[in-house]
Structure 1
Amino acid sequence: MSAYAQILAHASETAALAQIAGRLGWDQETVMPRGAARQRGAEMAAIEAVLHARRSAPQVGEWLAEAQAADATQAAQLREIRRAYLRATKVPSDLAKRLAQVTSEAQGKWAAARADEDVAAFLPVLQEVVALKRAEGAALAEGGDVYDALLADYEPGTTADQIAAIFDAMRAPLVELRAAILARPMPQGLSGTFAEAAQMRLTRELAETFGYDLDRGRIDKAVHPFSSGSGDDVRITTRTSATDPFNCLYSTIHETGHAAYEQAIDPAYALTPLGQGVSMGVHESQSRIYENQLGRSRAFTGWLYGRMRDVFGDFGITDADGFHAAVNRVHNGHIRTEADEVQYNLHIMLRFDLERALMSGDLQVADLESAWNDRFAADFGYAVDKPSNGCLQDVHWSVGLFGYFPTYALGNVYAGCLYQALRQAVPQLDDQLARGDTSAATAWLREHVQRHGGLYEPRELIAQASGLQPGPAPLLDYLQRKFGALYGL
């Protein structure tokens, strides 16, 4: 076998083991007994040790030195293997194993602290997670910026300073738009209660409407909705609320965007470094364009209004225009995942600044709750009422995902660019969405984004698909047009 064939075979087996680790994570958040957390931590640490050893094996370095790429696809495979190898060889095995164990246990402690509204119960383990992530970042950075080194795991080729510049360009227009909207009368919301079983039936229908293949996936419930897996086993979760079915339905559409991306990747890339989404920002572009530009459009909500009346009967809204306004209602709220399109990115900016300060040491874990509450009051104009609506609302920091949050807003920026191109490519888009038909839109996204997997670098992929260099202008224009029309601005 050639060096390339040997290294790809090794990488494919490593990818298969990583999928097993991911399945353990899915199980932990859906059906694992609460009392199994400590054992699961040991299991996750054991498999992480195996993965780390494989990724950092000296033989990988020897193969990389010898391997020759015959085409662009092989060059991209080697690029990703090299990136993983360099990362693995910089992080000591004991540190990688300890991180896997602590973050697995921390997730359970976060969930319990969140349920009990007890920040103090979570801070000791968060302190350990932060210390371990700082050590990991320092090992990766080799004297450079610790946060940039962690960010590269989620959005390679992008720095925190570049993200900060994008956020600075977005902040003032978003704050101005929010203020103008909140000065207008708020649209009517839904009334009544919505049976969980009916929500779950409709949520499965919506997932399939947006192209999710349930023969290669499943939908379960979790505290925090997420997508897991790739190729022929891609699973999503959602959550239900008796008084807010949008929480369930739009969480499902969002996660379907993630899952559809993974299911659409070229099967030739399965269980190779290219067989997954290229970055979390690109991943988020798919979930956000499914959820917002498509799922919350006037055309699609007109169809959904009819389906919800079929399923739930009367819920207090008498026409499709009123329903569209309810779906897109801009209102005060603490929860990022429930935020409207206008305010969502402001939630991300808060987290980005706080986690960057945690990694630099400018913010101590003991001061996180007060820092969060002060920043939220300054940004949104009202106070955090309880920890589950504040610094305990997200799972990310408990599992060590520092550098992940800004990719949500980058995903919105990328989605803005893609949507502009999609509308030009599919001129009958609104007519199709009004019939509940997303096939032309999702086919365009599969062809131009999803099928490529990790073949291209993130910004290169978005530029190639949209014809635009990624930037916030298309997103801001879309938001101004949509919410200007909704609120008569």
Structure 2
Amino acid sequence: MTAFSDLMAFVRETQALKEVQGRLGWDQETVMPRGAAPQRAEEMAALEKVLHARKMDPYLVDLLEAVRREDAVGRAQIREIRRETERARKVPADLAAEITRVTSLAQGIWAEARAKDDFAGFAPTLAQVLALRRLEAQALAGEGGDLYDALLDDYEPGETGASLDAMFAAMRPRLVALRENVLGSGTVPPALTGDFDPARQMVLAETCARSFGYDFDHGRIDRAVHPFSSGSGLDSRITTRTDPENIFDCLYSTIHETGHSSYEQNVDRAYLLTPIGRGCSMGVHESQSRIYENQLGRSRGFTSWLYARCRETFGEIGVDGPEAFYAAVNAVCPGYIRTEADEIHYNLHILLRFDLERALIAGDLEVPDLEAAWNDRFAADFGVAVDRPSNGVLQDVHWAVGLFGYFPTYTLGNVYAGCLFEAMRRDCPDWEDELAAGSAAGPTAWLRERLQRHGALRSPRETIEEATGGPVTVAPLLDYLDAKFGALYGR
């Protein structure tokens, strides 16, 4: 045995325990009895203590000091192990466990508050989560460090709040101009109507997932309040939700999560249960979910196929023909809900959350003032007054579970997806014809080979640049949006 093989054996056990923790989280959001929440929170906290102790184990520290590797895979494994170990050493074990316990409980409290439109009832829990995450950020950042950057680094290594702020500032003028042109065009897209039975929605959702290559031998679809994906490697699961009046929420949430989960399923099996055997960052992860959902799933080719499947499943749906269906899928409207937002408004949703959560972590905004700040910003950005908390500050689960620093990765993922789509179209000229036949085999094979199979072998930006052969810029995304919606709305 060598120091490296001993190191990897130790780390694989840690990764296996992390997968168990993730499965507990999946169970909590899908099938766990509601009354089990307090016990589950203690179980999650106990497991977090075990994981934290393993990252602090002197045996691991000794192995890291002794190990040397010259090959790219070995260096990447060591890089990721060091990164996780160094972060763990900065955060006290009791704090890490308490964050896990409180955020586990907070999920259920948030879900009940959302159902009742009761932000005031949820606010004390959110304040507790925020206080804990601020403590964690202080431990990670050290004296004089930026608290938000310390949290962001957990989701998107190499990025900072300032770098993302500059990127988003460069995007906003063209997004706003496109939005104004589209909404001022006078074009009113058709809308679906009909009886969209939830059980039939789930059957069609599974069909869509299969069309994008989702492997049901190593995954499954369940329902949850907020769609998500969970797991990696041989067990990568997704959830979706149904609304009897809106089939697009179910279908496109499913395709979105299929992108996430397929990424995990397609990582090289040689990396299974290792630090690089997963997506390399949330921004890169979102590039997969967003390109599946939008550039592929909302394309004219795929929607022509989906139109026929919807007619087979639901009968009359209120639109006549594939072109009208394509327009309905891509309707631009300043709606309340991020996960249902069109491609133009989606990034404006993220910019709102990015600014608010930076203010929360910095202490410039406190929880009692959050709902009013949200509503004011939403009215300014979307021209619509928020009618109730479930359509506003309570719509997302992210802050309830402590994911401060996560939201900007959605827009960064859109930027990455724009770069990938530009390269994919160049290499796969028949991509839309394939989608029109109900198969995404060509585009998803390209993504699997160029990006997904490599896991966290490279840094996030290197992953995208290696896949596309060029630098990361906002131009491909904005050019794609201008071309697509200019054609749809005659501008």
Same fold, TM exceeding 0.5? yes
Corresponding position of 1:155 = 156
Q: Is the 8 A contact 1:16 1:271 kept in 2?
A: yes
Corresponding position of 2:458 = 456
1:278-334 CA-to-partner distances (Å, cap 9, x unmatched) read 000000000000000001001111111111111111111111111000000001211
Distance 1:356 1:472 in 2: 22
> What is the DSSP-based 3-state SS (H/G/I as helix, E as strand, rest coil) of the residue aligned with 1:164?
helix
Distance 1:404 1:56 in 2: 25
Corresponding position of 1:138 = 138
After superposition, the CA RMSD in angstroms is 0.8
Corresponding position of 1:168 = 169
Distance 2:153 2:58 in 1: 23
Q: Spell out the pairing of 1:77-476 with structure 2 (5 A cutoff).
A: 77-143=77-143, 144-183=145-184, 184-476=186-478
Distance 2:476 2:457 in 1: 25
Distance 2:8 2:215 in 1: 28
What TM-score comes out, normalization by structure 2 length? Answer: 0.99
Q: Which amino acid in 1 is paired with 2:52?
A: H
> What is the DSSP-based 3-state SS (H/G/I as helix, E as strand, rest coil) of the residue aligned with 1:215?
coil
The more displaced of 226-235 and 53-62 is: 53-62
> What is the DSSP-based 3-state SS (H/G/I as helix, E as strand, rest coil) of the residue aligned with 1:252?
helix
Q: Is the 8 A contact 2:91 2:139 kept in 1?
A: yes
Distance 2:2 2:36 in 1: 44
Q: Is the 8 A contact 2:194 2:314 kept in 1?
A: no
Distance 1:384 1:57 in 2: 49
- Tell me which stretches of 4 or more aligned residues in structure 1 moved more than 4 Å: none
Q: Is the 8 A contact 1:186 1:331 kept in 2?
A: no
> What is the DSSP-based 3-state SS (H/G/I as helix, E as strand, rest coil) of the residue aligned with 1:359?
helix
Distance 1:59 1:391 in 2: 45
Q: Which amino acid in 1 is paired with 2:401?
A: V
Q: Is the 8 A contact 1:186 1:330 kept in 2?
A: no
Q: Is the 8 A contact 2:189 2:328 kept in 1?
A: yes
Report the number of matched residues: 489
Q: Is the 8 A contact 1:305 1:323 kept in 2?
A: yes
CA positional deviation for 1:192:
1.2
Q: Is the 8 A contact 2:301 2:432 kept in 1?
A: yes
Corresponding position of 2:15 = 15
> What is the DSSP-based 3-state SS (H/G/I as helix, E as strand, rest coil) of the residue aligned with 1:214?
coil
CA positional deviation for 1:243:
1.2
Q: Which amino acid in 2 is paired with 1:17?
A: L
- 5+ residue gaps, structure 1, are none
Distance 1:421 1:166 in 2: 21
> What is the DSSP-based 3-state SS (H/G/I as helix, E as strand, rest coil) of the residue aligned with 1:162?
helix
Distance 1:57 1:120 in 2: 42
> What is the DSSP-based 3-state SS (H/G/I as helix, E as strand, rest coil) of the residue aligned with 1:29?
helix
Q: Which amino acid in 1 is paired with 2:352?
A: L
> What is the DSSP-based 3-state SS (H/G/I as helix, E as strand, rest coil) of the residue aligned with 1:42?
helix
CA positional deviation for 1:428:
1.2
- 5+ residue gaps, structure 2, are none
Q: Is the 8 A contact 1:218 1:236 kept in 2?
A: yes
> What is the DSSP-based 3-state SS (H/G/I as helix, E as strand, rest coil) of the residue aligned with 1:234?
strand
Distance 2:37 2:254 in 1: 27
Distance 1:48 1:8 in 2: 20
Q: Which amino acid in 2 is paired with 1:51?
A: L
Distance 2:440 2:52 in 1: 41
Q: Percent identity?
A: 62
Distance 1:162 1:245 in 2: 37
Corresponding position of 1:29 = 29
Distance 1:313 1:115 in 2: 31
> What is the DSSP-based 3-state SS (H/G/I as helix, E as strand, rest coil) of the residue aligned with 1:78?
helix
